[in-house]
A and B are shown apart, each in its own frame.
Chain A
Amino acid sequence: MDKTNLSQVSTVEWRVEPSGAMRVPAIIYADERLIDQMDDKVFEQVTNVAKLPGIVKASYAMPDAHWGYGFPIGGVAAFDPDRGGVVSAGGVGFDISCGVRSVLTGLSRAEIEPFKRILADALFAKIPAGVGSTGRIRLGGSDMDAMLAGGARWAVEQGYGEAADLERVEEGGAMPAARPDQVSPRAKRRQRDEMGTLGSGNHYLEVQEVAEIYDTDAAAAFGLRAGEVVVSIHCGSRGLGHQIGTEFLRDMAAAAPDLGIALPDRELACAPIHSAIGERYLGAMRAGINCALANRQIIGHLTREVFAALFSKARLELLFDVSHNTCKVEEHEIDGGRRRVYIHRKGATRAFGPGHPDLPESLRPFGQPVLIGGSMGTASYVLAGTAASEARAFSSACHGAGRAMSRHRALKQWRGRQIVDQLADRGIVVKSHSSRGAAEEAPGAYKDVDAVVEASDRAGLARKVAKLSPLVCVKG
């Protein structure tokens, strides 16, 4: 990114003062190297978001930000409903509530190492992944609506997982105010056979080793012990979320002229929170969040079944489940007072600090676990929300490495087989239905996740707790 229009606030904070139609400043959290590598489109998009009606404080970009559609991926923005604030389908993204769930196993790496390939094969066989795959559950009618209203709570009631899991899921497992009746029949049809499936692209299930601990107390509270194994699942709301995003992005763009919203670019399609289409979207999007929470709950349950069959000692406990693509109503300190605002996090993780009332009691003293997915073959991280994070970016942090290279370029540079073999040489078992998919997701196509996490930590967005290294990767 060209730095001439940025003013450097600190080694990890850059600012664009409002100019032209910008209503608030834009703030990018990143070190200089990440800024240099960042797409100029991030500048364009983060400043475009600053022009939207009702935006509060600033338009933010996280250290892993890259070119999205409308909002940058890694974008955070809050809107005040009583000051003309808007909700944006592009500001949430197509994969509504895409997120990461990490599960503790209580097993050491040494215990699983001899069975790593068997474990990889069993997970690959059990958890449907890739294009065209279907789950074993077929949902329709009132069952579909119950899932869309109940999220992970619904899944537990259906026998997927344990009630104790729910306090370790955002919103206690069920997003309130979801409106299944605002989800179109086409979106529901698209989801009919997709419950409990990983999807494709950058979605995955990884078996990981706790490689390093940075914060002993928080790690102990989170149940993370060096040398032990955790499983992380990265996926979202599948076809239902994609269809909701598709329909509302298009309908908001078509409705913008009638709603009197002048968009700097059509891709920023949005609607006032207090409008019929805005309220319909919020109800449908919240149902989409529940779909993702239920989906990860089911995949977590299938993972438990695989481990139980192979390791009698395994006891899989949910560490936490975070969502990346959401719009949520939260109360934050703004201009000296508490205000309820609509926070869009597009490719950004909620990161509540210690003491936050929404956190379960066992985690409250340490802050919310913030689960950062790496790319196939690189590290993942567990961070914790900080007290400072609220003032930095409405309690938000990065969400992953973020792509550094397009799929197009990755395909020209690597072959899938070569990537799988190189990772095997490093002791990482990769299971994928598609060789081209593996090439597109090559670790080298992503930013340096270590640098992204370091910048998040130094900027006070979240603090490092532990580093996880991959052992097995089931690609979506």
Chain B
Amino acid sequence: MTSRSASRAADRTATRKNGWELFPHRADTGVRGFGSDKHTAFEQAATALTAVITDPQWVMPRLAVEITCEAPDLELLLVDWLNALVYEMATRRMLFSRFAVRIENRRLRGRAWGEPVDVARHEPAAEVKGATLTALEVARRTDGLWVAQCVVDV
């Protein structure tokens, strides 16, 4: 992907109600998802995670992977969800572009659709090492929109 298309993708989606963006961190990158409910915000944050690596539009949602996690609170649940995706990407050598999340009582059941990494087509910029607790927030803003975000280590 070219640098411009990456930043355009982030700018475009950030203005919508449901969407995602990358936010700057000096050494690494922040991922932020927005949504009318927390499920959507988690799904969008996952798309932002993919955008750290490649343009999500370039990843075909051909194969599905099931993910479940559980945490003492919603913020750690976001970290667990993103880290579960990092683990699946690393061990399956896949990238994901479509996500479905259900959260009930601090338990998350999710599904991620994607395909194996194709270096020539995806031109992955960097692997994500893990989601951090920095700038970690899962909250409903005053305008009613849910935000799920944290810095990821690149």
Q: Report A's interface with B, CB cutoff 8 A.
A: 39, 41, 66-70, 73, 90, 93-95, 130-132, 134, 186, 189-190, 192, 199-201, 239, 242-243, 245-246, 249-250, 253-254, 266-267, 269, 402-416, 433-437, 439-440
Contact = CB atoms under 8 A, between A and B. Distances in A.
Contact of A436 (B6, B91, B129, B133): B6
A199 B83 contact: no
A407 B76 CA distance: 25
9 contacts: A67-B27, A68-B134, A70-B133, A90-B132, A200-B125, A245-B130, A253-B133, A414-B3, A437-B124
Interface stretch (B18-26, B96-104, B141-149): B18-26
Contacts of A242: 86, 90, 129-130, 153
Chain A CB count within 10 A is highest, among B26, B90, B93, for: B26
A69 to B, nearest CB: 4
A201 B93 CA distance: 17
Contact of A407 (B75, B80, B116, B154): B154
B79 interface: yes
B96 to A, nearest CB: 13
B4 to A, nearest CB: 7
Given A73-B27, A415-B3, A434-B123, 10 more contacts: A69-B28, A93-B153, A190-B91, A266-B75, A408-B23, A412-B3, A416-B3, A434-B119, A436-B54, A437-B123
A408 B153 contact: no
B14 interface: no
B154 A436 contact: no
B153 to A, nearest CB: 4
Given A90-B133, A131-B119, A435-B123, A41 B26 contact: yes
Interface in B1-19: 1-4, 6-7
Query: Is the interface on chain B under 10, 10 to 19, 20 to 34, or 35 or more residues?
Result: 35 or more
B129 to A, nearest CB: 4
A433 B119 contact: yes
A408 B27 contact: no
Interface in B77-115: 79-80, 83, 86-87, 90-91, 93
Contacts of A410: 3
Chain B CB count within 10 A is highest, among A70, A267, A410, A415, for: A267
Nearest to B73: A254
A319 to B, nearest CB: 27
Contacts of B90: 190, 239, 242
B23 to A, nearest CB: 7
Contacts of B79: 250
Contacts of A239: 90-91
Nearest to B23: A408
Nearest to A187: B87
Contact of A266 (B91, B93, B133): B133
Given A250-B80, A250-B83, A433-B119, A406 B127 contact: no
A227 B83 CA distance: 46
Interface of B: 1-4, 6-7, 22-29, 53-54, 71-72, 75-76, 79-80, 83, 86-87, 90-91, 93, 116-117, 119, 123-127, 129-134, 136, 151, 153-154
Contacts of A245: 129-130, 153
A465 B65 CA distance: 52
Contacts of A437: 123-126
A201 B87 contact: no
B132 A267 contact: yes
A66 B26 contact: yes
Contacts of B116: 132
Nearest to A418: B3
Nearest to A201: B126
Contacts of B86: 242, 246
B22 A436 contact: no
A377 B71 CA distance: 44
Given A67-B25, A407-B154, A434 B129 contact: no
Contacts of A131: 53, 117, 119, 124-127
A39 B125 contact: no
Nearest to A192: B91
Nearest to A419: B3
A94 to B, nearest CB: 4
B68 to A, nearest CB: 14
A97 to B, nearest CB: 13
Closest 5 A/B residue pairs (Cβ): A131-B124, A132-B117, A406-B24, A246-B130, A69-B134
Contacts of B6: 411, 436
Contact of A267 (B4, B7, B129, B134): B134
Contact of A246 (B27, B83, B125): B83
A94 B130 contact: yes
B3 A403 contact: no
Nearest to A42: B26
A249 B132 contact: yes
B87 A186 contact: yes
B71 A130 contact: no
A189 B131 CA distance: 18
A69 B134 CA distance: 5
